[in-house]
Amino acid sequence: MNISEVKIGLKGKDLLSIINEFVKVEGLKVSEIDINENIIIKGSFKKIVTVDFTGSVKLKRVDNGIIEGELVDFKLSKIKIISFIRKAALKFALRAIEEKGIKYLDGKVIIDLKYILKDVPYVDFDVTNINVNEDTLYVEANNIEISIEGTLKKDNKEEDVKLLEEAEEEDYEEEIKEVAKVEDIYTKGRRIFENKLPEKIKPFKEYLFIIPDMLALIYRLLKDKRVPIKTKLVISAAIAYISFPTDIIPDNIPFIGNIDDIGVIIFTLNKLIDDVPIVVILENWQGKNDIIITLKTLVEYAVNLTGARNVEKIYRFIEEISTI
């Protein structure tokens, strides 16, 4: 069924029911929505502890199905939060719902209606205008399609992404075959040592050299101009932390006191893998390519099994604060 154009009025309770129906995020509960000059949203977010929040959004414009609003006020647990902390806290909260089509950028809340409704086969529409009058939100839409049987077909972005990933994987495999290894004094020393290994040991030489190869990799990456300065600082800080004879952070400090050397190492390796192109890593890796590829996979699994996740949370928090 098709409808050319429609204008509807939504009260706070209507918006509340729509959000609870289509924006499902673990730990997020929206309990109340009031409409006056702005849209006031009250609720809570539970992540270890429950944090109550109140946010006030002023609608700015609608463009091609994207609704843009300005966050004019945000409070946590009835405490007024100063501007830069408010923005940082909001970033963390909205990261949980970004995959649902709602994100925060430079003081603005951006809502992608098409993305929110992508998995809903019963209705599709284009929003052309939206405004607030007294206690009602008025929405104008056109090109409305309704299917009682749920047979609407929408753009399958996931399939497109899958095809793109397969093409990129083929290009990646071709690219790593042509990697030219770095030649330096470590290369010569490693080769000499290899030649002196007993014949029975030589089949296992790649595993014997993992630790010295890793140290050489880190040294080379610190010298490589293609590696971001921020990544080099993370590597240097990790080396300093691990080399320190005693714990810099006492164990009795909640959360961050549980960070151990293994967690720091895994976080640093994961950060290095994320920030540095694999070709650059392979060029600086003295061993066989399949060793570093396997190590990359192991690191990705180890992130969730060690204290690396705690290190990452601290790093992300510092990064968020530095961008405000």
Per-residue pLDDT tens over the stretch 214-238: 889 999 999 999 998 988 988 888 8
Model pLDDT, residue 256: 46
Nearest CA among 193, 181, 165 for reference residue 291: 181
Q: What is the model's pLDDT at position 154?
A: 55
For residue 48, give its domain range. 2-146
Same domain, yes or no, for 53 and 183? no
Among 146, 171, 203, residue at a domain's last position:
146
Whether residue 163 sits in one domain with residue 65: no
Residues 141 and 51 in one domain: yes
Indicate whether 137 and 220 sit together in one domain: no
What three-state secondary structure class fits 244? coil
Instruction: For residues 215 and 179, state if they share a domain.
Output: yes
9: Cα within 13 Å, side-chain hemisphere: 7
247 occurs within a structural domain: yes
Same domain assignment for residues 46 and 127: yes
The reply to whether 40 and 104 lie within a common domain is yes
Distant-in-sequence contacts of 205-212, Cβ < 8 A, 24+ apart: 206/287, 206/288, 206/291, 207/291, 209/286, 209/287, 210/287, 210/291, 210/295, 212/186
Indicate if 141 and 188 belong to the same structural domain: no
* pLDDT tens column, 118-163: 766 667 777 888 888 888 888 888 877 777 665 655 555 555 545 5
- Clarify whether residues 56 and 108 are in a common domain: yes
Q: How many domains does the chain contain in total?
A: 2
Q: Ranked by mean pLDDT, which of 164-168, 175-179, 292-296 comes out on top?
A: 292-296
The reply to whether 123 and 187 lie within a common domain is no
Query: What's the pLDDT at 152?
Result: 58
Answer whether residue 181 shows pLDDT above 70.
yes
For residue 245, being part of any structural domain is answered with yes
Point out the domain boundary residue: 146, 171, 205.
146
Q: Which of 101, 120, 146 is the last residue of a domain?
A: 146
For the beta carbon of residue 63, count every other beta carbon within 10 angstroms.
10
- Please report, rounded to a whole number, the percentage of residues in the chain having pLDDT higher than 90: 9
pLDDT at position 74, please? 76
Taking residues 245-252, what's their average pLDDT? 51
